Amino acid sequence: MSADTLFSIKHFNTVSSTNTLAKDFAIKGEKEFTVILADSQTAGRGRLGRTFYSPENSGIYMSIILRPLLSPADTPLITTAAAVAVCRALKKVCRITPEIKWVNDIYYKSKKVCGILTESSINVTCQSTDFVILGIGINLYENDFPKEIADIAGALFESPPAEETKERLTAEILGEFYKIYLNITDRSFMEDYRNYSLILGKRVFFRKNGEDFYGRAQKIDDDARLTVVLENGEECVLYSGEVSVRLA
């Protein structure tokens, strides 16, 4: 089946959060590849308890219900796969070369234009994954970013793009994601993940257990673990979800 016919899209004007709504649908048994798409979110959520600014018609806010046959240990692959899918789609539709800031932020012209939030429901008894909600938020054009994010947030276009561009981009992201998802455990998409990396080879900073660290981002392995060589020569391996890394 092709991605065009596979995904079933439920479009809403305003929701609290497409991830929250998708989760409610998934709990009620909604099928895999159902996509919740909204024109705006009143309580868009980001990683680490942050909010995601989602004003009306300024971005793509969508969440996909997945029911992967993956062990809980492999579900983080979905986030990295989504980051690669977004980059491939942006390259194809917008003819730009975005960059991935480990783990899952997409940057363009040094500003964050896309965030990804993946939330899993695990069956503890079976140690299996019940469902995963893959949420993707893209800033299409700048619409009065609040001052807290004004320095970091950016957008793909300078003015609102045509509805057709928005639809094409949404469709390409879903299509590119599906292509990877079919054989996600082979991790072949990680090569592209590294190619799109914003931080590899660069000087980075992160804070862990209240301590500040500086070093060089040396490698990202096929499980998206990042090795940083610290200033004292020690190697530090970082796991996704553990810390947030920025360029130093």
Nearer to ligand BTN (CB atom), residue 83 or residue 215: 83
User: What is the number of the residue whose Cβ is closest to ligand BTN?
Assistant: 115
Q: How many helices, marked H, and strands, marked E, lie in the chain? A: 5, 12
CB of 37 to ligand BTN, least distance (A): 9
Q: Please answer whether residues 177 and 10 qualify as being in contact, where contact means their C-beta atoms are separated by less than 8 angstroms.
A: no
Long-range (24+ apart) CB contacts under 8 A made by 142-150 are 142/58, 143/55, 143/58, 144/55, 145/53, 146/53, 149/53
CB of 22 to ligand BTN, least distance (A): 8
- Contact with ligand BTN (CB under 6 A) among 23, 45, 101, 187: 45
Residue 166 main-chain phi, psi, to 5 deg: -65, -45
Nearer to ligand BTN (CB atom), residue 170 or residue 215: 170
55 binds ligand BTN (CB under 6 A): no
- Contact with ligand BTN (CB under 6 A) among 11, 50, 202, 207: 50
Closest CA to 45 of 37, 54, 36: 54
Distances (CA, A) of 54 to 92, 123, 126: 24, 31, 37
- The residues in 62-121 that bind ligand BTN, with binding defined as CB under 6 A, are 62-63, 105, 115-117
- Contact with ligand BTN (CB under 6 A) among 19, 129, 139, 240: 19
Nearer to ligand BTN (CB atom), residue 52 or residue 178: 52
Nearer to ligand BTN (CB atom), residue 1 or residue 48: 48
Cα separation, 207 vs 215, whole angstroms: 12
Cα separation, 114 vs 58, whole angstroms: 12
Residues that bind ligand BTN (CB under 6 A): 17-19, 41, 44-47, 50, 52, 61-63, 105, 115-117, 135-137
